[in-house]
Structure 1
Amino acid sequence: MSRKCPTDDGDELLARLGSLTSQARRLAELQRSRVELAIALQRDMLPADMPTVPGIHLAVQYSPAYSGLNVGGDWYDAFTLPDGCIGLSVGDVQGHTIDAAAFMGQVRVGLRALASVTSEPGELLARTNDLLLSLGADLFATCTFMRLNPSTGSLESARAGHIPCVWATADGKSGVSEDEGGPPLGVLAGAEYPVTRYRLTTGGVFVLLTDGVVEGPSMNVDEGLDQVVRLAGIAAVAGMEATSLATAVIKNAERVGHEDDAAVLVVGHDGRNVQP
């Protein structure tokens, strides 16, 4: 009976290890390519510019996650509506894949397109929900949409399963919005989205964000929101610029562990162009 010598066994083992190493390298390169593609999709689908309106200050910060394939579908958006108001939205698509990033683009474009038909936040979210359901996608999205009237400072807000916004006023008051909200987009046919009205007062700010900013391994969502409330309150009293506040808030993502995308949209008002 013939037997392989130890040298032959060693050569075979080395060959197998070499093959496995080569396969692992190819998989790593493929994964890296997918992440880079998803990040590119995100960046291309997010708005390059914010509306410019006297008295209104808009600032955004966005930090994608880079762990494995954890590149999801968070977004922010701000655009001028047909009636001269400003549409504001932030949202988060379920999942962390290229599909999630692509679906984010569909939701954001759908919101913009339907806003030309109706900018009433509750009706807009309802129509967007119906649109997504008609596409038959397996994904869903949470979202907040606000309509801001720059001349009066009035804000109308509707939420679709999204975390609440944070607000602060120049007289030292601050807190978390308490609007009722409805289910995520793309889940329930015929869903309704109640509208809550606020007022952006002189020196006040509203902070729209995604859960990657306030929730992670190191901090729960309530603790994270409390941190943003504190930052917004300080910023409003001190007259801090919207850009500086957005930068301070996005750093909160580092404190919570930041395993998810993180998006921040700050809306501030300096009092100009506001009717009493």
Structure 2
Amino acid sequence: MLRRRPPRSASADDLLTTLGRLTAQAREGAELQQARVELAEALQREMLPGALPELPGLRTAATYAPARHGLAIGGDWYDGFRLPDGSLAFSVGDVQGHDVEAAAFMGQIRIGLRAVAAHAADPGEVLSRANDLLLSVDCELFATCTFVRFDPFRWELTSARAGHVPAIWATVDDRYGVTDDPGGIPLGILPGERYPVTRRRLTEEGAFVLLTDGVVEGPAFPIEAGLAQVTRLVSARAGDHPADVADAVMCVAELTGHTDDAAVIVLRFEAAAAAAGAG
């Protein structure tokens, strides 16, 4: 004799209906999140420069890596461009927050920095003007940034920091260190902020590395340890091609288990050009 299952109660049918609706909503939410991630990745690819400027005696390279799990993309950037007086400008930074909004705000900052750099006297003034410009658009996000200007006539780097992680430098004669320059608060927080400027004459062959905290900091990896790791690496490879140095520095991000995106710029300056500029 076949036994029939008792009919499901109305409450069981309701439960299955609710479960199906929640599953569909979860699927739609996951698809929406994936679409936002893909859009942020596309924005990031389009907004980052395809190449950095160079001059005789100064070679450059940069690299970018998205967040390990792909959900925190959009905040970090690097840039490089020529200024009207013949010098070169470089910037690296990190927008607070992630996803499409951070990627879009990153684009605003890059454009703002380029616009004010053509009319500002030094990196400190560039950051001050960019800070006030960003505050004028009334956005709730803020960003850390380092802005560097390379003077090919004096063979000199001038730089200013807005709440950003320090740079790393090394020369081929085994001198190296972490820049301990004074700086100001991140961009987009307080109007009228001023940013101190640091000057460096490039009298020896070597490398100057700008990076974001996604390279040197992770969930269980303190930023001090990451900076020390990068410093050792750059000191050992100060004479290498800048692209090789950039790739090696980015490998540190894999050690940290980074949950943020990461960016690196390497400025590689030659001894002969440095000596000529210092003369």
Normalised-by-shorter TM-score class: over 0.9
The one-letter amino acid of 1:89's match is: S
| Range moving further from structure 2, 146-155 or 185-194 | 146-155
Give the structure 1 partner of residue 266 of structure 2. 266
Q: Say if 1:200 and 1:206, in contact at 8 Å, map to a contact too.
A: no
| Range moving further from structure 2, 122-131 or 58-67 | 58-67
The one-letter amino acid of 1:81's match is: L
Give structure 2 stretches of 5+ with no counterpart.
Answer: 1-5
Give the structure 2 partner of residue 193 of structure 1. 195
Give the structure 2 partner of residue 67 of structure 1. 69
- Partners of 1:39 and 1:143 in 2: CA distance: 21
| Range moving further from structure 2, 7-16 or 206-215 | 7-16
- Partners of 1:188 and 1:15 in 2: CA distance: 52
| Per-residue deviation, 1:81 | 0.8
Give the structure 2 partner of residue 91 of structure 1. 93
- What's the Cα RMSD here? 1.6
| Per-residue deviation, 1:178 | 1.2
Count of residues in correspondence between the two structures: 271
Pick from 103, 107, 110 the counterpart of residue 105 of structure 2: 103
Give the structure 2 partner of residue 131 of structure 1. 133
| Range moving further from structure 2, 192-201 or 253-262 | 192-201
TM-score, normalisation: structure 1: 0.93
Give the structure 2 partner of residue 246 of structure 1. 246
- Partners of 1:30 and 1:122 in 2: CA distance: 41
Pick from 225, 228, 234 the counterpart of residue 227 of structure 2: 225
Q: Deviations over 1:106-164 (max 9, x none)?
A: 00100001111114111111111111111111111100001112343211010001011
Q: Say if 1:218 and 1:255, in contact at 8 Å, map to a contact too.
A: no
- Partners of 2:22 and 2:76 in 1: CA distance: 36
Taking structure 1 as reference, are residues 204 and 74 closer, same or farther at Cα in structure 2, changes over 3 Å only?
A: same
The one-letter amino acid of 1:192's match is: R
| Per-residue deviation, 1:206 | 0.5
| Range moving further from structure 2, 195-204 or 257-266 | 195-204
| Per-residue deviation, 1:222 | 0.5
Tell me the percent identity: 56
| Per-residue deviation, 1:203 | 2.3
Give structure 1 stretches of 5+ with no counterpart.
Answer: none
Q: Deviations over 1:146-204 (max 9, x none)?
A: 11123432110100010110000111011100110011111111111000111234421
Q: Say if 2:145 and 2:187, in contact at 8 Å, map to a contact too.
A: yes
Q: Deviations over 1:234-253 (max 9, x none)?
A: 012xx211111100000111
Q: Say if 2:68 and 2:258, in contact at 8 Å, map to a contact too.
A: no
Counterpart of 1:251 in 2: which secondary structure?
Answer: helix
Give the structure 2 partner of residue 30 of structure 1. 32
- Partners of 2:40 and 2:125 in 1: CA distance: 31
